[in-house]
Chains A and B, each alone.
Chain A
């Protein structure tokens, strides 16, 4: 696998949320606004890239890897928990609004399956540079996925899209045109599951459509 493929695979082909269906709990909880999704994405990017790099660095030394192997899961957790604590303290000090909005879901990055999964499945068996690229790709794929869900939910639930701080797109004219109110259910927990299901079904349908078209082409060409 080339470095570019390594970077891009997390965006679509192996998207952690829509393909592997990992890290759903915080994803569904924070996607009430695009701002929250972007903030969560930045946090996950920081933690995933650095944890992948550190795990790969430790495991690339045969002697160290042999020592760490029996206690590798606690080692991964210590690394990830430290990075998450650093993110939490920095957010609390310098991005207080985002810190308040994300609340309990910042510490929960520690148990995000994507991060532990990439450490065990990829970083522990690959070189540091590849692991960093994998981390960037996976984090961007995760951010893109939760951003898509949050845009869908916030638009239908509030009629707005909060990009960051006061930068808010007001799209209520759409609801005014239809003479209805925004469907607040979509920013409630039930709306998170519905939105995730609808988006996943649509993406799967598209994926199947392209797969079938490709198969037909291959068949026609003999």
Chain B
């Protein structure tokens, strides 16, 4: 009995040491990871506002031509909305950072979906996912013909018949549920 307790205690001590080590590593990697995620979001957003006639994509800075702000959301699907306003025309577009579960239980599919004020999709990109390599990972790179949608408020484009495409569908669907209200007034929270 006592021997069993001692063995359990050894396991507990080992668990505490492991936890401390992981907390230490997390302490100096968490900021780098957060910075990388922000960078990926910005790079994705940049693609939808980049002037194709301007060859200096690397030098293109989104905030030079557009007012850019990021609103964090308390929503189980939409975690943030980028509000982008053209400095010349004052036209506003919204970039939704939206996540939904695909096949992987390890991480959801996170997408950036940018919608113009006329509810047409300006662009979309999968920011991160952990779908199965060779299967789901190929699906997220598909063109879902979303560029032909002119009104996201009546979205029904992706035939969500697999776990991964269902995740993609859910992302668009969640944006479609709120996009009209978001453009109609304050952001729905």
Contact = CB atoms under 8 A, between A and B. Distances in A.
A4 interface: no
A68 B187 CA distance: 57
A116 to B, nearest CB: 16
A219 B22 CA distance: 59
A107 interface: yes
B108 to A, nearest CB: 13
A78 B130 contact: no
Contacts, number: 70
A136 B56 CA distance: 47
A62 interface: no
Given A78-B15, A103-B130, A104-B104, A67 B10 contact: yes
Contacts of A67: 3, 6-7, 10
B133 A78 contact: no
A189 B22 contact: no
Taking residues whose C-beta sits less than 8 angstroms from the other chain, chain A's interface range is 20 to 34
Interface in A63-86: 64, 67-71, 74-75, 78-79, 81-82, 85-86
Contact of B36 (A64, A70, A96, A189): A96
B134 interface: yes
Interface string A149-181: 000000000000000000000000000000000
Contacts of B25: 85-86, 89-90
A100 B133 CA distance: 10
Contact of B10 (A64, A79, A81, A100): A64
Nearest to B20: A82
B181 interface: no
A29 interface: yes
| Consensus secondary structure, chain A interface | helix
Contacts of A93: 29, 32-33, 36
Given A90-B29, A103-B133, A75 B10 contact: yes
A211 interface: no
B4 A70 contact: yes
A189 B138 CA distance: 13
B63 interface: no
A28 to B, nearest CB: 11
A70 B3 contact: yes
A82 B16 CA distance: 11
A117 B104 CA distance: 27
Contacts of B33: 89, 92-93
Contacts of A187: 134
A74 B32 contact: no
Interface string B1-26: 00110111011001100100110011
Contacts of B8: 71
A60 interface: no
Contact of B32 (A78, A94, A104): A94
Contact of B22 (A30, A86, A188): A86
B79 interface: no
B106 interface: yes
Contacts of A101: 133
A32 interface: yes
Contacts of B26: 89
Interface of B: 3-4, 6-8, 10-11, 14-15, 18, 21-22, 25-26, 29, 32-33, 36, 104, 106, 128, 130-134, 137
Given A82-B21, A93-B32, 10 more contacts: A30-B133, A32-B134, A70-B4, A89-B26, A94-B32, A103-B104, A103-B137, A104-B106, A104-B130, A104-B132
6 contacts: A32-B134, A67-B10, A70-B4, A78-B18, A92-B36, A103-B131
